[in-house]
Amino acid sequence: MAGVRVAVLVSGTGSILDAMLGADVPVALVLADRSCRALEIAGAAGIDTELVDREAYGGFGAGFDRQAFTGKVTEVLKAHDIDLVAMAGFGTVLAGPLFDAFPDRILNTHPALLPAFPGWHAVDEALAAGAEVTGCTVHLATLETDAGPVLAQEEVPVLPGDTVQALHERIKQCERQLYPRVTKDYISTLATQAPSPR
110 is catalytic: yes
Among 41, 86, 88, 114, binds ligand GRF (CB under 6 A): 88
> Which residue lies nearer to ligand GRF by CB, 58 or 118?
118
**Interface with ligand GRF, residue 16, by CB under 6 A:** yes
Q: Which residues contact 75 (CB under 8 A, 6 or more apart)?
A: none
User: Which residue is closest to ligand GRF by CB?
Assistant: 89
Q: Give me the residues paired with residue 152 across strands.
A: 138
The catalytically annotated residue of 110, 121, 139, 168 is 110
Interface region with ligand GRF, contact rule CB under 6 A, candidates 6-14, 95-103, 144-152, 157-165: 6-14
Among 34, 54, 105, 110, binds ligand GRF (CB under 6 A): 110
Q: Which residues are catalytic?
A: 110
Residues lying near ligand GRF in the complex (CB under 6 A): 12-17, 38, 88-89, 109-111, 172, 175
